[in-house]
Structure 1
Amino acid sequence: MMVKAVFFDLYETLITEWENEKKKADFNPSRLLGMEQDIFKREWGKRKDKRMDGTFKDAKSCLVDMFCELETSFNMDDINKVIEKRIQAKAILFQSIDEKILDTIIQIKAMDIQVGLISNCAPEEVLEWENSSLANLFDTVIFSYRVKCAKPDKEIYDIACKNLNVLPEHSLFIGDGGSDELNGAAQAGLMAYHATWFQPPFINEKITGFPKLKKPSDILTILKTKG
């Protein structure tokens, strides 16, 4: 079956937070906020869905909601500092895109196949997208907070396919598997593939049921066999 579009996940597929088993830009928001780390992780984590689907319009509204629910006083200067640090940490990831990824996308487009992005993200996480070397290569960009739905919801894949006027069955989805995105893509009718090039083995092995891609150029091999 001829492929007419390839959709990519963003984090840990096109860009990565990790380098040599350490975060490229790490900071401790709980310390800056004067909150115990386990409490911060719990409260931040349980608001993930609402951060991704735009229910919280930004990180500030999410952090304020956390403090209000905990009935704990807070300092807005501290919240603003955390947001500033978070924006800086996310921006770093867009500064050096792997050349193998860029080359693969360019070759996909040279095959007259459209390229799209489907990313679960909050606004502050993708502020540098437009300044990155990736931005001009994509025919459609779907950020979950903008469309008010997130992977693995079928709707977000449908929106992406409609934007490019392609059927799901004529489309590939490439992702690291976070947010159950591969199952979501498959259930929406796309051909889903597991991108493992940024993943350590212990995570790679947890995700099963989908063909694994060891390097970006493996996508080109698949497209040639389906051409």
Structure 2
Amino acid sequence: MIDAVCFDYFNTCTSAVRRGGGHRRTAEVLGVDPAEWLAVLDRTYDERARGGYGSHLAGLRRLCAELGVEPSTAQLRAALELRLETVLADAPLRPEALSVLRTLRAAGVRIAIVSDCWFELPLLLPRTPLADVIDTAVYSCQVGHTKPHAAMYATACAQLDVDPARCLYVGDGGSRELTGATRFGLTAVQLRAPDLGGHLTFHAEPDWRGRVVTSLEAVLDLVGTPMLVA
């Protein structure tokens, strides 16, 4: 029996993440080369996601320093807002995400978002419709570890007050999250939605041989919960 479901956020609750023009605009505001900006974001992803770069303005300032640029506080504040807008634009919620999570919640299933992220998601998630239908959110930048580290799953299960054996984990497979979830004792399921492929992800696990679904609605079948009719 499943008492709780942990969902990855990016590429799972959201559509496939693809970088848009907001990154170029952010780089221009900071006075850095757009290509170098994307390169430093990629290079520092792991450390940023573990919280190593701090948050907000200090973290943006450190990234700029690595590129030899010292933006003003006004530039940093403008870039911060652009960064948040860009992350939202690059990763819109899947159309079915809210209804699936709402259905699970109505059936008494506890729900967590478990995500590798920098400062953006802790600021953005409370502004999304998902905020009203989840029980908790676990952010790597606050835990100090990224998936597949056991601390991510342990934190989620503790906050949900659920035994790992009674918890489902759903993700696209970035950060080798499915292997990590399985190792910790959760039942892991990979989302292979039609839009995924060539999307932005880090440390994917193409060798996953476990259970697969092609839509979030299929998670309801695994839990045994029929979709609510609007």
TM-score class, shorter? 0.7 to 0.9
Q: 1:152 Cα deviation (Å)?
A: 1.5
Partners of 1:42 and 1:209 in 2: CA distance: 32
State the Cα deviation string for residues 35-81 of structure 1 (Å, max 9, x = none).
Answer: 344433333223222321222221432332234345x2422243333
Match of 2:40 in 1: 43
Pairing partner for 1:87 from 84, 88, 91: 84
Report the CA distance shift for 1:81/1:106 in structure 2 as closer, same or farther (over 3 A).
closer
In 1, Cα distance between the equivalents of 2:54 and 2:37?
19
CA contact (8 A) 1:114 1:139 kept: yes
* One-letter code aligned to 1:196: R
TM-score by length of 1: 0.82
Task: Normalising by structure 2, report the TM-score.
Answer: 0.81
- SS of 1:27's equivalent in the other structure is helix
- Of 115, 125, 128 in structure 1, the residue corresponding to residue 121 of structure 2 is 125
SS in 2 for 1:127: helix
Structure 2: stretches of 5+ with no match in the other structure: 226-230
Matches of 2:124 and 2:197, distance apart in 1: 29
Report the CA distance shift for 1:43/1:185 in structure 2 as closer, same or farther (over 3 A): same
| 3-state SS of paired residue (1:118) | strand
1:107 is aligned, of 103, 119, 139, to 103
Q: Give yes or no for contact 2:48–2:118 (8 Å, CA) kept in 1.
A: yes
Structure 1 segments unaligned to the other structure (5+ residues): none
**Which secondary structure does the structure 2 equivalent of 1:200 belong to?**
coil
Q: In the alignment, what sits opposite 1:208?
A: 208
Distance 1:198 1:124, change over 3 A: farther
> 2:220 — aligned with what?
220
Aligned to 1:212, the other structure's residue is in SS state strand
2:164 aligned with 1:168: yes
Deviation at 1:166, TM superposition (A): 1.1
CA distance in 2, matches of 1:117, 1:198: 22
Partner of 2:180, secondary structure, is: helix
C-alpha deviations, 1:106-137, integer Å up to 9, x for none? 22233332111111122233423222211111
Percent identity over the alignment is: 24
Count of residues in Structure 1 that have an aligned counterpart in Structure 2: 219
Amino acid at match of 1:135: A
1:178 aligns with 2:174: yes
Query: 1:120, 1:198 → 2: CA distance?
Result: 22
Q: Give the letter for the 1:145 counterpart.
A: C
Q: 3-state DSSP class of the match of 1:206?
A: coil
8 Å contact from structure 2 (residues 170, 188) kept in 1 = yes
Looking at structure 2, the residues matched to 38 and 201 of structure 1 have their Cα atoms a distance apart, in angstroms, of 22
In 1: Cα distance, 2:120 partner to 2:10 partner: 14
Aligned counterparts, 1:31-70, within 5 A: 31-70=28-67
Let me know the Cα RMSD of the aligned residues.
2.8
Query: 1:74 corresponds to which letter in structure 2?
Result: E
Of 116-125 and 37-46, the range deviating more from structure 2: 37-46
Give 1:223's aligned amino acid: V
Q: CA deviation at 1:215?
A: 1.0
